[in-house]
Structure 1
Amino acid sequence: MSTGLIILLIVIAAVVVLGAAALSLGRARRGGPSLKRRFGPEYERTVALHGGDTKAAERELTERVERHGDLRERPLDRDDKERYAARWTAVQERFVDSPREAVAEADQLIAELAVVRGYPDAGRYDEQFAALSVHHADHVDGYRQVHLVARAGADGGGSAAGAGTEEMRTALIGARALFDDLTGPGADTGRHRSASGAAGPTAAAGTRSHARSHAPWALHRSRPKES
């Protein structure tokens, strides 16, 4: 091999290495702002959970995107939306007399709904939460809070086990925001729409039922008993 060819190969290898380093640096610089835009308040919460270590938090969030960014949510038909809306209404009504049980039911309901929409199995909460955070970052913290309260109540230990009614109410309201996302307009297959595209009677009834189930009930209910 000639000296000239060896030098050429060395130059090419150096260019490749430098190009890869520049690309990696560019990604690192863009990672912070990009992750902040994508995750919003979940970005700050993740940094806080890592004790303020921004790099560790960004590594975790980047891994979430790599694992779940390509997930495509499965749609809900109108019947499913009405069924889940009715179950959420029942949870809200149960909260009046049995807030702790209602919170546990809400936790289970969201976990089940997430699976129906195509998210990881409810038995793997951490993985399911990570996937939800990628696609519903603005509202996923409500699920975190309601899950923590529900788990603490089930285990009978930890500070959250003594959660008061208002804390449970706040958790449930936050969880409802994610429930709204998972059952909102984007979740609908439109199976009951007419050929012209207008919603038929069944769809309209479902819309009214859905609206009733998401009324600001917590602002108007009498203070529930502590369970």
Structure 2
Amino acid sequence: MPVWGWILIAAIVVIAVLAIIVSRSMRTRKRTERLKGRFGPEYERTVGQVGEQSAAEDELAAREQKREKLEIVPLSTEAQAKYANSWRTVQIEFVDNPSSAVAAADRLVIQVMRDRGYPIDDFDQRAADISVDHPKVVENYRTAHGIYLLQERGDVGTEDQREAFVHYRALFEKLLETDENKDKPKEART
């Protein structure tokens, strides 16, 4: 075979390898952009926690796949009203007994999650599952739960309890949302 033939074959191989590299790079970049868009601050948190971007992205993708297998359902109008009323009661209780109200808020959030179809056995798994649907408030949930655990040991003051309560409320409100009332002004919601 003449030299120009070998050069042509080598050029074709190099072009094919470059095309594969560019294609993989574009897929990786699209995956990163999609996950960043979906998870927002949870993306950065997971990368920081896992330490490697591709491993963190694998974890986030696994969360999405697990979430797809769950049958998450909206609450009925009656259940929404019942839970909203329960929240108002817990909120009133906060004035007289903040620690009891924080514990009640934790239990109420778990009840709503259970009724919506989220598994509730393990806190870390609950947070991971919630991060797929509500990535902007999952950190609030982690913070609130952390304060709740400190409270169980008697290590928090009223300001921390107030912070936990506000964080629980942020997740609670997201859990009560349905596609119908998502875009309504807050005052118009149940």
**Shorter chain as normaliser: what TM range?**
0.7 to 0.9
Q: Structure 1's 108 and 25: CA in aligned 2 closer, same or farther, altered over 3 A?
A: same
Task: Give the structure 1 partner of residue 40 of structure 2.
Answer: 40
The 2-side partners of 1:101 and 1:64 are apart by 32
- 1:182-221 equivalent positions in 2, closer than 5 A: 182-186=175-179, 210=190
- 1:51-200 equivalent positions in 2, closer than 5 A: 53-120=52-119, 122-154=120-152, 156=153, 162-186=155-179
User: Structure 2, unaligned stretches of length 5 or more?
Assistant: 1-17, 182-186
Q: What's the CA shift for 1:162?
A: 2.1
What's the % identity of the aligned pairs? 38
Deviation digits for residues 52-93 of structure 1, max 9, x if unmatched? 543333232122112113544212122211110111112211
Q: When the two structures are superposed, what TM-score results if normalisation uses the length of structure 1?
A: 0.64
The 2-side partners of 1:115 and 1:21 are apart by 45
Task: Give the structure 2 partner of residue 221 of structure 1.
Answer: none
Counterpart contact for 1:107–1:143, Cα < 8 Å: no
Task: Give the structure 1 partner of residue 12 of structure 2.
Answer: none
Q: Structure 1's 21 and 80: CA in aligned 2 closer, same or farther, altered over 3 A?
A: same
Counterpart contact for 2:148–2:164, Cα < 8 Å: no
The 1-side partners of 2:22 and 2:113 are apart by 39
The alignment's C-alpha RMSD in Å is 2.9
The 1-side partners of 2:32 and 2:157 are apart by 37
Counterpart contact for 2:47–2:53, Cα < 8 Å: yes
Counterpart contact for 2:127–2:138, Cα < 8 Å: yes
Structure 1 or 2: more helix by fraction: 2
Counterpart contact for 2:106–2:145, Cα < 8 Å: yes
Structure 1 stretches (4+) deviating beyond 6 angstroms? 18-23
The amino acid across from 1:49 in the alignment is Q
The 1-side partners of 2:20 and 2:72 are apart by 34
Q: When the two structures are superposed, what TM-score results if normalisation uses the length of structure 2?
A: 0.74
Deviation digits for residues 188-219 of structure 1, max 9, x if unmatched? 7xxxxxxxxxxxxxxxxxx8783xxxxxxxxx
Deviation digits for residues 122-154 of structure 1, max 9, x if unmatched? 222222221111011112222212211222333
SS in 2 for 1:162: coil
Equivalent residues, number: 169
Counterpart contact for 1:114–1:182, Cα < 8 Å: yes
The 1-side partners of 2:101 and 2:165 are apart by 9
